[in-house]
Amino acid sequence: MKNHYSVIVVGAGSVGMAAGYYLAKKGIDTLLIDAFDPPHGRGSHHGETRLIRHATAEGSHYVELALKAQKLWQELEREINKTLFIPTGTLMVGECDAPFIDKTVKSAKEHSLALETLHAAEIRKRWPGFSIPDHFVGYFEPSSGALLNEECIMAYRELGLIYNTTLQTNTKVESIDFSASGAMVKTADTIFYADQVVICAGAWTGKILSSLGLPLKTVRKTLGWFETNDPNYQHPLLPCFYFGLKNERYYGFPNISGSGVKVGRNDSERNIDPDFMRQDFNQYPSDEGDLRSFLERFLPGAAGKLTQGKSCMITKTPDMNFILDQHPEYPHVKIAAGFSGHGFKYSSVLGELLSQLVIDGRTEYDISKFSITRDSLVRN
Ligand SMILES: Cc1cc2nc3c(=O)[nH]c(=O)nc-3n(C[C@H](O)[C@H](O)[C@H](O)COP(=O)(O)OP(=O)(O)OC[C@H]3O[C@@H](n4cnc5c(N)ncnc54)[C@H](O)[C@@H]3O)c2cc1C
């Protein structure tokens, strides 16, 4: 195996695998290195499905990326000739004055996105599986839905290999030495050299770039699948959903493939070291307890037997915005990290964006809010 590449991508998960695909498609000699065999269950990208919404409470600056990402997922579906996106639509529900509702509606208005307003009685009538108190309001985004995340990563992997990318799996990058003209990427038994490096190491990014002291926090999240035979909880009779309650936030998916209604808690979390992440669900009583309690209150016919549960990691920045930038001292090193629990849907467009940064030194997308030198990162 040769040991010098134009580009080495460290971490071939959600974003890294997409970047490898775009680089290889553009003829760039690229090596992808991953500590495991992606898609896998050790990072941030397992669990069958991810929501893709276009209107978002995370800020209007994400909408352009979400719309482009959706387009690129559809292109990927055509190229791989497999279903990657399930058009369920997404229902956002909250109390009338919930801040996330206001922000989502604002981003939809600014970008003229279709978002239907629905009162509680209308929601109950249209989707009888939901039990919604009268003082709640909902917004339905019909064009959004569920991405089959592991299938998406597999599609980029398969196509990237066709375009001649090199993929080294089950190989941990131990360290990277940067120099003015390139980098030396060390694994347990090989040293690779590259002109440029893209770092997409998810929960391990803080460790790999420890010299930068990035304020990244890695936390454990849980998700569970619950059995139900009630047709009201099957796709296409139930949309994906996101509930912003007073002190809790939950999201979920209809029973898409027979594995049950999937639900996750978005706000509760435990700090963890990614090297010591425990995979097991039900390590804490609240793992299942919180999800079941949510279902009993709002989707009562779906609160059946737990068929499976998983834990997963997300990596947060202090302001929940991504880091998409070049290394402050080494411009030939690009960093894509800190996706703060909402990054998967964008990974198609982020792969394209990273390939532009590598090849042209700039990108057509506005990434000014994702700077590695922004105040909220350096003052932390
Ligand atoms: C439970 C849960 C639900 C979520 N729901 C949504 C959702 O609905 N919508 C959404 O958009 N986002 C969602 N997210 C967030 C989204 O999944 C993540 O933002 C995204 O997967 C992060 O991608 P990544 O490429 O940074 O990390 P990963 O996909 O984890 O990839 C990082 C890769 O780097 C590799 N790596 C790390 N260190 C090394 C090393 N030293 N050497 C070699 N390889 C290394 C890892 O093995 C891994 O494969 C959710 C996340 C979780 C956990």
Query: 347-360 and 149-162 are packed helices; what angle lies between their axes, rounded to 10 degrees?
Result: 30
Q: How far is CA 325 from the centre of its chain?
A: 18
- Is 257 a residue whose pLDDT tops 90? no
- Is 86 a residue whose pLDDT tops 90? yes
- The structure tokens listed for 76 are 């990927």
Please report the sign of the dihedral spanned by the C-alpha atoms of residue 355, residue 357, residue 363, residue 367: positive
Pocket test for ligand 1, best of 190, 344, 346, 350 (most atoms within 8 A of CB): 344
**What global pTM score does this model have?**
0.97
Q: What pLDDT digit, counting tens, does each position of 131-171 carry?
A: 999 999 999 999 999 999 999 999 999 999 999 999 999 99
Q: Which helix (H) or strand (E) holds 101?
A: helix 99-110
Ligand 1 centroid from CA 174, angstroms: 19
Backbone conformation region of residue 28, classed left if phi is above 0, alpha if psi is from -120 to 50, else beta: beta
- The structure tokens listed for 93 are 């529900």
- Is 379 a residue whose pLDDT tops 70? no
pLDDT for 72 equals 98
**What value does the mean pLDDT take over residues 239-250?**
94
Output b/e per residue, 263-292; b: 16+ Cβ within 10 A: bbbbebbeebebeeeeeebeeeeebbebbb
Give the three-class secondary structure for 332: coil
Q: What pLDDT digit, counting tens, does each position of 271-297 carry?
A: 999 998 766 888 889 999 999 999 999
* CA atoms of 351 and 61, how far apart (whole Å): 18
Nearest Cα to Cα of residue 205 among 52, 330, 340: 340
What mean pLDDT is reported for the chain?
95
Q: What pLDDT digit, counting tens, does each position of 327-345 carry?
A: 999 999 999 999 999 999 9
Q: Is residue 101 very low, low, confident or very high in pLDDT (cuts 50, 70, 90)?
A: confident
Q: What pLDDT digit, counting tens, does each position of 163-194 carry?
A: 999 999 999 999 999 999 999 999 999 999 99
Q: Give residues with Cβ within 8 angstroms of 208, minimum separation 6.
A: 10, 173, 175, 176, 199, 201
pLDDT for 252 equals 98
pLDDT for 59 equals 86
* CA atoms of 160 and 378, how far apart (whole Å): 35
Q: What pLDDT digit, counting tens, does each position of 37-82 carry?
A: 999 999 999 999 999 999 998 888 899 999 999 999 999 999 999 9
Question: Pocket residues for ligand 1 (CB within 6 Å)?
Answer: 10-16, 33-36, 38, 43-45, 47, 50-51, 172-173, 200-202, 204, 208, 221, 223, 264, 312-314, 339, 341-345
* CA atoms of 137 and 139, how far apart (whole Å): 7
Q: What pLDDT digit, counting tens, does each position of 1-33 carry?
A: 799 999 999 999 999 999 999 999 999 999 999
Decide which of 332 and 104 is more confident. 332
* CA atoms of 86 and 312, how far apart (whole Å): 22
What letter would DSSP give residue 216?
-
Residue nearest to ligand 1 atom 5, measured at CA: 50
**What value does the mean pLDDT take over residues 251-267?**
95
- Is 268 a residue whose pLDDT tops 90? no
Q: For 162-213, give the DSSP string.
A: HTT-EEE-S--EEEEEE-SS-EEEEESS-EEEEEEEEE--GGGHHHHTGGG-
Nearest atom, ligand 1, residue 221 CA: 1
* CA atoms of 375 and 251, how far apart (whole Å): 31
- Is 380 a residue whose pLDDT tops 90? no
Domains and CATH numbers, the chain: 4-45+150-210+319-378 (3.50.50.60), 87-145+217-316 (3.30.9.10)
Q: Give percent above pLDDT 70 in the chain.
A: 99
